[in-house]
Chains A and B, each alone.
Chain A
Amino acid sequence: MKSNNLSSEEQEQWTEIIEPGKSLFALDLASVWRYRDLLMLFVKRDFISTYKQTILGPLWFFIAPIFTTITFTIIFGRVAQISTEGIPPVLFYMSGIIGWNYFSTCLTNTSTTFRDNAGIFGKVYFPRLIIPLSTIITNLIKFSIQFLMFIGFWLFFIYKDASITPNSYILLTPLLIVLMAGLGLGFGMIISSFTTKYKDLVFLLQFGVQLLMYATPIIYPLSTIPEKYKWIIIANPMTSVIETFRYAFLGSGTFNLSHLIYSLGFMIILLFLGIVIFNKTEKTFIDTV
């Protein structure tokens, strides 16, 4: 054996040691950084491929939330006559929809990470975390476009109507975006990891996201919920995100710091759990997917 001649010092210079993987917290952020070019290329790929061979192209980013807003305005505003607390219904619904869309697309897209990419994952190694991160960024771009659209409507209504009272809580917007992304990513990674072997959760997710939307004050203000059931809605970490967003831009609803801190804590724990489970899964998922 030639290797026996090596000094022990040289023996330790391995750049990589592949082992059955016992450590749960070996989060290799350095290698994620090394593959940052790949991350951006995945974002570009997703972005380009989604709207290739469509006539309207990126205009679809606007069309979907506008139509949802119109539908909500008619169904919930006019027919069901749910209160919007004096806020123009278009702004009320749109503010909820774009935030919720960002969270739910992050969640549903990352939840299929392992299944959708089994082909690539089975052939080449790169930090698996790249894929969910690229999903988050791709959706962030979509969200930003929709957010700009919202700002357009918002400015128009401010010019026309004085009932909107934006306030300095607008500065919290970046935190709200991080919360939405983090919650979506965390839930998504956990579901993605759990569905490599047993696919039951896929079915839960299909209707779960929709049900969760009704447990979030998107189509109704939090204030209309009877005290008795309010805790259910508040337990949903997305509630304070949507409420704060609405409060900051429209001045409706409430701002509750403790609720926001609850969401932040929830996100941190969820994200931590998600990364741990994801890391554990990525090592051998290809055997069971």
Chain B
Amino acid sequence: MSTVIKVENLSKQYRLGSIGTGTLTHDVQRWWANMRGKEDPFLKIGDENQRDGKGGSDYVWSLKDINFDVQQGEVLGIIGKNGAGKSTLLKLLTKVTAPTTGSVKIRGRVASLLEVGTGFHPELTGRENIFLNGAILGMTKQEVKNKFDEIVDFSGIEKYIDTPVKRYSSGMYVRLAFAVAAHLEPEILIIDEVLAVGDAEFQKKCLGKMKAIGKEGRTILFVSHNIQAIESLCDRVILLNNGLKLPEISKKETIKLYIDNSLSATIKESKQGVRENIEHGKRARINNIQIKPSFAWQENVKLSFEIEKIDTIIEDIEFGVGIDSISGVRICTFESKESYSLNDANKMTFEVIFNQPTLVPGNYLVSIGVRSLAQTLDFLEFVHEFTINEINQDGKHFGFTLGESSGYIDTNVEVITKKD
């Protein structure tokens, strides 16, 4: 095995705020320093890349002193919160923008897939776009020609191949675009979260294709929020946090660290949902809803929230919690079985535990409502999203035996077997 990518002290600095007359002063200062052979005065400053914190400087290090090697044939996953610097790293690796300091050394032909269908022109036909997109991604005309039939076959839109792509449905568009990308044959493939688009079937197809590419011994760099995909595809995982690379530990530990990290981040002060009815939240408010963003399959789904009293006396408080599918279909509800009084306190915290919920892996939404004597006091619809992962705490995978859709409820069933 040999090193195909070597990243050394890679850093990237960005300027915050808008560009105007003010930035010209900095440009002039920088140019003047440059002319005298001095160092860029703005390289010394800069905050670390933290979105929510208030920075003192106009400059921010989106990436700071990143070092790592990638061996040939390795599938490297890069994870991190939004704004951790993942996309910046990919942009540097793919030469879309230049680093501020440091270097990247690459051996072999690189193809990058930061977006599906880059450069598709709506007026051109599917056929013309295959050639154009292929060439943009670095293929020669001859290579595209050789693979043309395969690409069309993979996309499954043969009938529309001579129709301008502006007439395509978005699904057809994505299929065609991915088909081109899937038939690239670079030595190093760099992929951003392209899996975020498209339906489940498309995502599976992408993952399958990527697995196949990985098996052929080609090097892949893969950035994603999709932990399952990272887990099943990658040999090694790098975790970025605020533009810094965390020390490398085993893949399993890295993923765990990431999940815990993102939990602590999102479980913080929950964002207030938008109240559609202005009467809601006047007498009492639902505050501080906390729920983990993802649960293992078969894990108890736990959430907590506060009811804060604004009125002087509120009695007979009842609440309900609803779980909806991502498409807004109510899956199950819980209505409180007793009523509570808030006369002697200002707020009351509730912890609701769905014991062994039988939800099928997927994404779900939570809604919470509070009422008193048939009057709705507050109602927050779809305030939080959570994921049920495909793996349970014992490491067992949920099996999609029945194909793509398994509904929403994985019911508790007793199975009696008998062998003859």
Chain A interface residues (CB < 8 Å from chain B): 1-3, 6, 10, 13-21, 35, 37-38, 40-42, 44-45, 48-49, 52-53, 119-126, 197-198, 283-284, 286-288
With contact pairs A44-B128, A124-B136 given, residues A2 and B96 touching in the complex (Cβ less than 8 Å): no
With contact pairs A2-B71, A38-B135, A41-B132 given, residues A20 and B96 touching in the complex (Cβ less than 8 Å): no
Supplied contacts A14-B106, A37-B141, 13 more A-B pairs, CB within 8 Å: A6-B2, A14-B105, A17-B104, A19-B103, A41-B135, A48-B123, A52-B123, A119-B118, A123-B118, A124-B96, A125-B95, A125-B112, A286-B97
Chain B interface residues (CB < 8 Å from chain A): 1-3, 6, 14-15, 19, 23-24, 27, 69, 71, 91-110, 112, 114-115, 118-119, 121, 123-124, 128, 131-132, 135-138, 140-141, 164
B106 touches A18 (CB 8 A): yes
B121 touches A45 (CB 8 A): yes
Interface centre among B24, B71, B92, B118 (most CB of A within 10 A): B118
**Separation of A287 and B87 alpha carbons in the complex (Å):** 13
A38 touches B136 (CB 8 A): yes
**Separation of A284 and B95 alpha carbons in the complex (Å):** 9
Task: Write the chain A residue with the least CB distance to B135.
Answer: A38
**Separation of A16 and B107 alpha carbons in the complex (Å):** 6
B138 touches A126 (CB 8 A): yes
Which of chain B's residues have a CB closer than 8 A to the CB of A45? Answer: 121, 124, 128, 132
Task: Write the chain A residue with the least CB distance to B116.
Answer: A123
**Separation of A16 and B102 alpha carbons in the complex (Å):** 14
Which of chain B's residues have a CB closer than 8 A to the CB of A42? Answer: 132
**Separation of A197 and B95 alpha carbons in the complex (Å):** 19
B96 touches A13 (CB 8 A): no
Interface centre among B1, B101, B119, B131 (most CB of A within 10 A): B119
With contact pairs A48-B124, A288-B19 given, residues A35 and B99 touching in the complex (Cβ less than 8 Å): no
A120 touches B123 (CB 8 A): no
- A132 CB, nearest partner CB in chain B, Å: 16
Which of chain B's residues have a CB closer than 8 A to the CB of A37? Answer: 135, 140-141
A121 touches B96 (CB 8 A): yes
- A281 CB, nearest partner CB in chain B, Å: 11
**Separation of A44 and B15 alpha carbons in the complex (Å):** 38
